[in-house]
């Protein structure tokens, strides 16, 4: 975990430029409006207006909370490129997990699982570093065969649990 320990005050930056806060609100609004359209599954004008209003209020709350908590996210677009591989990883891992489930139900075989250490740079404690770690841990945990537990700051490794580990020779 990054950030201050319990009871320690955060260094708040109250002089955040208005343009940055408006930009942050706009990014939240676009993401939440896209989520609304996906969930609502309708492009009727009245439903889009309601979604726009709900997304605007939710974006305002998200911006207010991040401002009050003195939490800032810094995102580089090149960090999102690995997300293009996620659908393939999810499909591949679903086949692996369902095959292991089938073997467990039909033959009583327990899948070989393990905790593994994968190389992952921890980085600094800046908002950019925290955002990168959040995306790395979240992206690693999307596919159903692997769950990231965290990144060890001292050794620059990410500890993950893999439900089905490939056995040697298979």
Taking the model in full, what pTM does it have?
Answer: 0.57
- 161 and 115 in contact (C-beta within 8 Å)? yes
Q: Are residues 86 and 156 in the same domain?
A: yes
Q: Are residues 63 and 24 in the same domain?
A: yes
Q: Is residue 3 part of a domain?
A: no
Helix, strand or coil, per DSSP, at residue 116: strand
Count up the domains in the chain and report the number: 2
- 137 and 168 in contact (C-beta within 8 Å)? no
Q: Is residue 13 part of a domain?
A: no
Cα 82 to chain centroid, rounded: 12
Encode pLDDT of 87-104 as tens digits.
Answer: 899 999 999 999 999 999
Neighbouring residues of 47: CB distance < 8 A, sequence distance ≥ 6: 40
Q: Which domain holds residue 97?
A: 77-162
Q: What are the phi and psi torsion angles at 37 (to 5°)? A: -65, -40
Cα 150 to chain centroid, rounded: 12
Encode pLDDT of 10-51 as tens digits.
Answer: 555 557 778 888 888 898 899 899 888 888 888 888 999 999
- Residue 59 burial (10 A CB sphere; 0-12, 13-18, 19+): buried
Q: Are residues 94 and 111 in the same domain?
A: yes
In the sheet that holds 146-152, the strands lie side by side as 114-119, 157-162, 146-152
Q: Are residues 82 and 63 in the same domain?
A: no
Encode pLDDT of 59-70 as tens digits.
Answer: 999 888 887 777
């Amino acid at each position: 975990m990054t950030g201050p320990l319990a009871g320690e005050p955060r260094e708040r930056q109250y002089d955040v430029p208005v343009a940055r806060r408006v930009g942050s609100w706009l990014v939240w609004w676009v993401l939440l409006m896209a989520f609304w359209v996906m969930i609502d599954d309708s492009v009727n004008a009245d439903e889009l207006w309601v979604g726009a209003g709900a997304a605007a209020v939710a974006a305002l709350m998200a911006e207010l909370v991040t401002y009050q908590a003195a939490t800032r996210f810094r995102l580089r677009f090149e960090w999102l490129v690995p997300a293009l591989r996620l659908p393939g990883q999810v499909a591949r891992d679903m086949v692996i997990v369902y095959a292991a489930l089938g073997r467990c139900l039909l033959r009583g075989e327990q899948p070989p699982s393990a905790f593994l250490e994968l190389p992952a740079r921890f980085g600094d404690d800046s908002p950019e570093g925290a955002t990168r770690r959040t995306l790395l841990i979240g992206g690693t945990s999307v596919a159903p065969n692997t769950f990231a537990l965290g990144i060890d700051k001292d050794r620059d490794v990410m500890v993950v649990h893999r439900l089905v580990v490939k056995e040697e020779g298979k």
